[in-house]
Amino acid sequence: MPFVRKLGEGECGRMSDYLIETRNLKKYFSTPRGLLYAVDGINLGLQKGRTLGVVGESGCGKSTLGRVVLRLLEATSGEVLYKGENILTYSESQMDKLRLKMQIIFQDPYASLNPRLTVSEIIAEPIKVCKTITDKTKLDAKVSELMETVSLADRFMNSYPHELDGGRRQRIGIARALALDPEFIVCDEPVSALDVSIQAQILNLLMDLQQERGLTYMFVTHNLSVVKHISHDIMVMYLGQCVERCSSDELFENPMHPYTQGLLAAIPVPNLQMARKSKHVVLKGEVTSPINPKKGCRFASRCNFVKSECMGEDIPLRELSPGHFVACVRCGA
């Protein structure tokens, strides 16, 4: 894979700055119908204190990527580097130590909390498991402090998750992720199950926490307006591969890949002028099957600009302007 090296070359000067980095990361699932290419050769680098937004349609492998990076799923091949060390070779006990630094916030605040534990028990659980605080009074103080951080009133301490609404439940999920004072958090669609006004409260909270604690986020979502708001850099995924990666502003001002352009055009903008101006260009079709995909550009079957070069060869990710990577033969040719 020549493009892997190419991508590294342009960035090697900053390599050591990365908190999290992946190299040619792959995760295949075997299914009765063949290999499912969920994550297929992802290279990414994430500096401390920054947010990488990972966007794409359902089934593009974005959640799988988040889980593979945390080793909640074992990668098929490739490397995940944490502060320059490949964590995929870590033993169980090394991994246990590392998990203190890496946490996840799940999508569904209804399903990701144990219904039989109280709020304080849920938040204290990671601390108990990892034994970072063993003293009972100190633990209680820590839980109160965490609840205050995420603006949960103390009176909910002994409530059960079902007594709370979605926004408050997601705050519990965030408090739990913060319990071990991590450096890196994967946010797997943390606001998609919430109402807009609650969504805005949670987004503000996540951004405040990042500023206060210098957290690094990998923010997985299908909501492009949210991702623009919270991310410094954005990676657009399609069928397990990265099709475009650049800074958030650059992506929205100058999207190059036809898929990114289609995605951006599909966002319903709450602005009447823009809604009337837009010509309703919609991306035709749906994401094709990730099982045994054909060689060549995986987006070709839905692309309006498809050419013969798109088929047969895998399309490399090329740096077309500084920091702007695109995998399309059309762009910059």
Binding site for other proteins (CB under 8 A): 57-58, 165-167, 195-201, 203-204, 207, 222-226, 228-229, 249, 252, 262-263, 265-272, 274-275, 280, 282-284, 286-287
Backbone angles phi, psi at 36, to 5 degrees: -100, 115
Closest C-alpha among 132, 134, 154, 130 to residue 143? 154
Residue 203 structure tokens: 């987004």
| Alpha carbon distances (Å) from 277 to 269, 272, 281 | 11, 8, 11
* Nearby residues of 75 by Cβ (< 8 Å), 6 or more positions away: 25, 26, 27, 39, 68, 88
Shortest Å, Cβ 67 to other proteins: 20
313 burial via Cβ count (<10 Å: 0-12, 13-18, 19+): exposed
- Quick one: 76 or 223, whose CB is closer to other proteins? 223
What is the DSSP-derived secondary structure letter of residue 16? G
The distance of closest approach from Cβ of residue 125 to other proteins in the complex, given in angstroms and rounded to an integer, is 26
- Residue type for 116, please? R
Closer CB to other proteins, 179 or 224, in the complex? 224
The nearer residue to other proteins, 179 or 205, going by C-beta atoms, is 205
- Nearest-approach distance from CB 88 to other proteins, in angstroms: 30
Q: Which residues contact 22 (CB under 8 A, 6 or more apart)?
A: 42, 43, 44, 69, 78, 79, 80, 81
Q: How far is the CB of 281 from other proteins (least distance, A)?
A: 9
Nearest approach, Cβ of residue 251 and other proteins (Å): 11
Among residues 145 and 208, whose Cβ is nearest to other proteins?
208
d(CA 55, CA 237): 6
**In angstroms, how far is CA 158 from the centroid of its own chain?**
32
- The distance of closest approach from Cβ of residue 91 to other proteins in the complex, given in angstroms and rounded to an integer, is 39
- Judged by beta carbon, residue 100 or residue 198, the one nearer other proteins is 198
State the minimum distance, in angstroms, from the CB of residue 167 to other proteins: 7
Quote the least distance from Cβ 200 to other proteins, whole Å: 3
Burial of 74 (0-12, 13-18, 19+ CB in 10 A): exposed
Helix (H) or strand (E) holding 7: helix 2-9
Choose between 284 and 295: whose C-beta lies nearer to other proteins: 284
Q: Nearer Cβ to other proteins, position 32 or 270?
A: 270
User: What would the two tokens of residue 150 be?
Assistant: 């995420």
Q: Whose Cβ is closer to other proteins: residue 182's or residue 262's? A: 262
- Looking at the DSSP assignment, which residues form a beta bridge with residue 244? 236, 326
